[in-house]
Structure 1
């Protein structure tokens, strides 16, 4: 049978209001009364309900975190960074996964509002260039601080932490060009998201800066999903004049591409070269030497959470802060041009 504050009040010989003040450390209570109530609480092994306490204070000690794909290791590392700072700040986390669905993201925002959370960190799914009045109105009416990570929400001025995706993609493509590649294919991410657009822009910029024509036949539009990249790469491998190198724009895309490449018994870099955006840790563990652009995902999570903590502590409350982190290129040999000329 659950212990209630009524049981504590009765055993301590005090009112419900006095027990409530002791539990919430609010209002005046005589020291001897406070000690007596605390002893009863300990004797009865009573654990106060977080929900009940949040109702009395009209807020929780909790923040919401919304990501589009909890299975993706990139967002796992972002969450790791968020959690590390949250724990040090005495904050709890409610994690929501949207499966890259705009409808699920909107529902998550509404659910978190009902939970009386203090703030939200969100990696948005909603299209960066899309005007969604219901979505924007929901964000504006939440009345709590919101910090963006990885992706932007157009028509808003939220604080955020991002990665310089243009720079990362440019350097990845340029590494292939320096090896002698001229026929470089790209498998993009979901092109209604700013990270995907910026990575494609970086790829285009590298070609143009090196006087290499941008050919539509070497642009393959993906959606960040492993299965889509697998199907695209299967088709690429059947091309008569296929690219000599691929720049793949996300970690899950990398996995799908590699699966297709190895199924076709094609070797990297002897038959085709490849550079990926984002680290795939399992490849390093298994000894696959795939070159990649390393986006500082854990650091992004830490900075995003610290930004939110600062706002909650009234630091930089009225200042819009948008931090862009620089990625770094890790070359492991898969960019090399070893393809024999026919």
Structure 2
């Protein structure tokens, strides 16, 4: 049998308004009366409906989190950081995956708004160059705090936490140069995406500082996914003047490159050196020591959640806009080493 507020009020000998005040911790209730109501709630094993509570108080204790690739370990760790801080503040999370699709993201925003959530943490789809007025209008008119995680929204001004992708790519390329490589290919993400542009800037900066010409034949663009890097790597291995090292700018793409190396019997780093962007724990498990740029993913989730909570608690009528940049760390495990072979 479903227990209602009316049942509690009848047994406790109080009004439904009094029960509601006790449940929502709002309004004055004598301590003696409060204890009597709480005792009845416990006896009847009553669990308040989060939806009903949000309707009565016009707010909930739920946060919306929107990510483009839930199967990507990068976002898995971000969600872990968000969840840790949310738990500390007794906040619930509704998680939405968009498959990096702007229409799915727009739908998720509308659904979350209907749920009367208190705030949103979002990594926008990477298509910053594809302006969508309906999308921007929906995001700006939510009426709740929004925090961006490592993604920008064109023509907007939201608080956010971002990774310095230029530095990460610069450090990775510099490490390959320091190891003795001069022919360094880059397998980057989709063209014109900000993180793609930033990572190419870092790659180019490291080459220029070391008087190494940026050759177009060594610059490749995929789509951040496994299959694109697999095909590109197959092409690289067939080049007459192929590079001795490859910088792969996403964790999913590095898996595609490694598969191509394996199929062509390419040993890392004897036949080809490689550095990736973002770690993949599975590679450690199987004993593949692949060097990588480690984005502070869990920290990003934690800092982003704390920023959102600060905005929720902000008594000012206008949300304070904050932007924080976190710096990635290069983790060298040997795959960047230079081996003097027939390819050089």
Correspondence list, 1:1-342, <5 A: 1-314=1-314, 318-341=319-342
CA displacement, residues 32-55 of structure 1 (integer Å, 9 cap, x when unaligned): 433332222111111111111110
Find the residue that maps to 1:268 and give its secondary structure.
coil
Q: Distance in 1 between matches of 2:9 and 2:320?
A: 46
CA distance in 2, matches of 1:112, 1:16: 29
Quick check: 2:145–2:319 contact (8 Å CA) kept in 1? no
Residue 285 of structure 1: how far off its partner (Å): 2.3
Separation in 1, partners of 2:203, 2:231: 21
Q: Count the aligned residue pairs.
A: 342
Deviates more, 1:225-234 or 1:63-72: 225-234
Task: Tell whether the 8 Å contact from 1:120 to 1:147 is kept in structure 2 after alignment.
Answer: yes
Displacement of 1:211 in angstroms is 2.0
- Give the Å deviation of 1:295: 1.0
Question: Given that residues 151 and 193 in structure 1 are in contact (C-alpha distance below 8 angstroms), is that contact kept between their aligned partners in structure 2?
Answer: no
Distance 1:309 1:294 in 2: 26
Shift of 1:161: 0.7
CA distance in 2, matches of 1:259, 1:308: 40
The superposition leaves residues 75-111 of structure 1 with CA deviations (integer Å, 9 ceiling, x where unpaired) of: 1111111111111122111111111111111111111
Q: Aligned partners of 2:292 and 2:33: how far apart in 1?
A: 63
RMSD: 1.6
Distance 1:245 1:143 in 2: 49
**Stretch moving more, 235-244 or 320-329:** 235-244
Bigger mean CA deviation after superposition, 309-318 or 298-307? 309-318
Deviates more, 1:198-207 or 1:243-252: 198-207
Q: CA deviation at 1:319?
A: 3.2
TM-score by length of 2: 0.95
Alignment partners' CA distance in 1, 2:167 and 2:117: 36
Distance 2:218 2:243 in 1: 7
SS at match of 2:310: helix
Structure 2 stretches of 5 or more lacking a match? none
The 3 A distance-change label for structure 1 pair 116 and 192 is farther
Quote the Cα distance in structure 2 between the aligned partners of 1:248 and 1:98: 24
Shift of 1:318: 4.4
Deviation at 1:315, TM superposition (A): 7.4
**Does the residue aligned with 2:260 lie in a helix, a strand or coil?**
helix
Mapped to 2, the partners of 1:192 and 1:93 lie a distance apart of 32
Q: Distance in 2 between matches of 1:249 and 1:67?
A: 19
Decide whether the 8 Å contact of 1:269 with 1:339 is kept in 2. no
Contact 1:272 1:339 in 2 (8 A): no
Alpha-carbon offset, residue 58 of structure 1 = 0.3
Deviations 1:224-272 (A, max 9, x none): 1112211221222222222111000011111111111111111011111
Note the residue ranges of structure 1 that are not aligned, 5 or more in a row.
none
Instruction: Give the conservation status (yes or no) of the 8 Å contact 2:311–2:320.
Output: no
Q: Secondary structure at the match of 1:289?
A: coil
TM-score by length of 1: 0.95
The alpha-carbon distance between structure 1 residues 318 and 101, as it changes in their structure 2 partners (threshold 3 A), is closer
The answer on whether the counterparts of 1:228 and 1:256 sit within 8 Å (CA) in structure 2 is yes
> Is the Cα–Cα contact under 8 Å of residues 246 and 272 in structure 2 kept in the other structure?
yes
